[in-house]
Structure 1
């Protein structure tokens, strides 16, 4: 599990844990993310029972929320309520630094470790492998739900059916890159 001060790397992006679930008794998770320009844009997703607060420290962050796109600059704050579809990215040209708080923490630090670790190790991407994605969708269903290309309820049903097969084939729901 992550500890305060641990840093994850993915390309030119970094994520540093400031306060973990253990530090806050599960109340929240706080990380600082340095997004490189034109960094990966996560799929549109929502969090079933979590609020997010993003304080833009440096640079700019583009946020698409509830079918509206807005650019936020240093000194501004973005709030995403539970179940609100959204995505965010750095539109460039400079790095964007963001303090990101997720309330309650649930297993979000484990989700970050897993997604960043698998991506850094080139073991996951937008196109697969299907069994790994299905297993993660099921394992982190309380933290994160992708909105498209299928409705989240369909993804959850499919992932529940495929998760046992994924485990039998050697996939795991947690991963931390050794780097």
Structure 2
């Protein structure tokens, strides 16, 4: 039985993520989360994943999703999929909250990345927008969740993150972060 919270909340934006089905509960097949974005809440920058598919299903409100620079409004009961390698982002462009589920198949270490990111926020180790102050932490979070920002050269991000991860491992930057995940970080 895990002592980790089922729901984590972004200290600065109010976004909350509830882990409905974790990777360990699905034998590594998928992760199912429920995200709640407050009115006019921003999501992540335009990004892609080259190791998992992301499926969105809206439960309450309307979600604005951008896939390959085409913006769509996803309403209650509707679903939208961001295939592997597809540039995408989401936001709440409306005056009421939106709640949506996201299924990540396969999940990589997305849960661990979120727990680390939100834990760093709670411990004051990010700026006032929630961006980690340490480049080693940024690299770790992005690698664990297999996220590449699409407005920067992908090859450069992979090279930079790989180098930072190796230095971080050698200098023991990641062991203290295990308090957020409750287990060893696999790199």
TM-score relative to the length of structure 1 = 0.83
Given that 1:33 and 1:100 are in contact with CA atoms closer than 8 Å, whether structure 2 keeps it comes out as: yes
Aligned residues: 175
Query: Which of 137, 144, 148 matches 2:147?
Result: 144
Query: Which of 117, 122, 133 matches 2:138?
Result: 133
| 2:34 alignment partner in structure 1 | 32
Work out the CA distance in 1 between the residues paired with 2:58 and 2:3. Answer: 23
| 1:111 alignment partner in structure 2 | 113
Q: CA deviation at 1:115?
A: 2.3
Residues 1-179 of structure 1 mapped to structure 2, 5 A cutoff: 6-11=6-11, 12-124=14-126, 125-126=130-131, 128-137=133-142, 139-140=143-144, 143-148=146-151, 150-167=152-169, 171-172=173-174, 174=177, 176=180
Q: CA deviation at 1:99?
A: 1.3
Given that 2:125 and 2:132 are in contact with CA atoms closer than 8 Å, whether structure 1 keeps it comes out as: no
Q: CA deviation at 1:32?
A: 1.0
Secondary structure of 2:58's counterpart equals strand
Q: CA deviation at 1:27?
A: 0.9
Given that 1:37 and 1:92 are in contact with CA atoms closer than 8 Å, whether structure 2 keeps it comes out as: yes
Secondary structure of 2:74's counterpart equals strand
| 2:185 alignment partner in structure 1 | none
Residues 120 and 87 of structure 1, relative CA distance in 2, 3 Å threshold: farther
Given that 1:62 and 1:72 are in contact with CA atoms closer than 8 Å, whether structure 2 keeps it comes out as: yes
Given that 2:112 and 2:181 are in contact with CA atoms closer than 8 Å, whether structure 1 keeps it comes out as: no
Q: CA deviation at 1:23?
A: 1.1
Given that 1:4 and 1:18 are in contact with CA atoms closer than 8 Å, whether structure 2 keeps it comes out as: no
Q: Deviations over 1:124-144 (max 9, x none)?
A: 34484333223434x427x22
Work out the CA distance in 2 between the residues paired with 1:136 and 1:13. Answer: 17
Work out the CA distance in 1 between the residues paired with 2:3 and 2:149. Answer: 27
Work out the CA distance in 2 between the residues paired with 1:136 and 1:96. Answer: 25
Residues 93 and 54 of structure 1, relative CA distance in 2, 3 Å threshold: same
